[in-house]
Amino acid sequence: MSPRVTATEFATLGLDDWRYLSHELRAAFRLSSYAEAGAFASRVAATADRLGHHPSLDIRYPGVLHISTTSHDVHAVTDRDIALARAISELAVGASVVSQPRDVRLVEVGIDAVDIDAIRPFWTALLAYADEPPAVEGDTVRAISDPNGLGPAVWFQQVDPASPAAGLDPAAPQRHKTHLDVWLTHDVAEQRLAAALEAGGRLVSDAGARAFWVLADPEGNEACICTWQDRD
């Protein structure tokens, strides 16, 4: 099993085309046309075959290739992802490729749960998702993901039954138990935060900044802006 690479360790490696979001590395490369993006994707695929480690590729008009890589066996970034990212960046050198790392993002769905094991099977069945291995063997499975890599990951946040967050007291003010985690590159997070506040949002908490800020829309629906910083 390959050792995990933390976000702080990754930040020292000089892989400027890539950003560490949650448990993945992501990059975006702009090419001169849709066909050129397809051709570059083919070269990336050949490199992945050679290295025996395969990223997710997503081509968007007019010619942007989005790439994400993670080590699914440990649900984390490992040296396999580092080697692949480095090889892909080397492919881009000398080609008509423009790196756009500030454009990458990752969205996850967070669900508050008193009993994670009780509710997780419902969401797994509904979405046709699969369990993600826990960080510690034998621990509660706290996340599920789309085996096809198309839908957002879902993770379950443990809450105390006595907490208002549990929503079990009918006399207590009710709060939403589902929120979005919007993972952004560290160099755009505060700009996005300002834009969300300008658009009518409010800051619920910045106690976790720079790892995350909790925001809410005018009706109380919550979302978090997340970065890799201050997590290790």
Q: Give the CA count within 13 Å in the CB-facing half-sphere of 113.
A: 20
Q: Rounded to an integer, what distance in angstroms lies between the CA atom of residue 80 and that of residue 17? A: 17
Reported as a single tens digit per residue, the pLDDT across 159-206 is: 888 776 666 555 455 567 899 999 999 999 999 999 999 999 999 999
Q: Is residue 55 within 8 Å of residue 48, measured between CB atoms?
A: yes
Q: How many domains does the chain have?
A: 2
pLDDT average, residue stretch 146-156: 95
Give the CATH number, domain containing residue 60. 3.30.1360.20
Q: Is the pLDDT of residue 115 over 80?
A: yes
Query: Is the pLDDT reported for residue 70 higher than 70?
Result: yes
Q: Looking at the structure, tell me whether residues 89 and 112 fall in a common domain.
A: no
pLDDT for the residue 164: 65
Same domain, 198 and 161: yes
Q: What is the pLDDT of residues 81-112, one digit of tens each?
A: 999 999 999 999 977 799 999 999 999 999 99
Among residues 88, 103, 118, which one ends one of the domains? Answer: 103
User: What b-and-e string marks burial along 103-141, b requiring 16 or more CB atoms within 10 Å of the CB?
Assistant: bbbbbbbbbbbbebeeebeeebeeeebeebeeeeeeeeb
pTM confidence score = 0.89
Question: Of the candidates 103, 119, 148, which is a domain's last residue?
Answer: 103
Q: Dig out the tokens for 61 from the structure.
A: 């008009």
53 and 123 housed in the same domain:
no
Say which range, 53-62, 119-128, 132-141, has the weakest mean pLDDT. Answer: 132-141
Distance between CA 11 and CA 185 in Å, rounded? 12
Checking if the pLDDT of 2 tops 90, the result is no
**Averaged pLDDT of the chain:** 93
Token pair listed for 228: 């890799």
Statement to judge: residues 146 and 109 lie in one domain: yes
Residue 231: inside a domain, yes or no?
no
Q: Look up the domain containing 148 and give its range.
A: 105-226
pLDDT above 70 coverage of the chain, percent:
94
pLDDT of residue 160: 85
- The lowest-confidence range among 27-36, 55-64, 70-79, 103-112 is 70-79
Domain membership flag for residue 1: no
Beta bridge partners of 59: 65
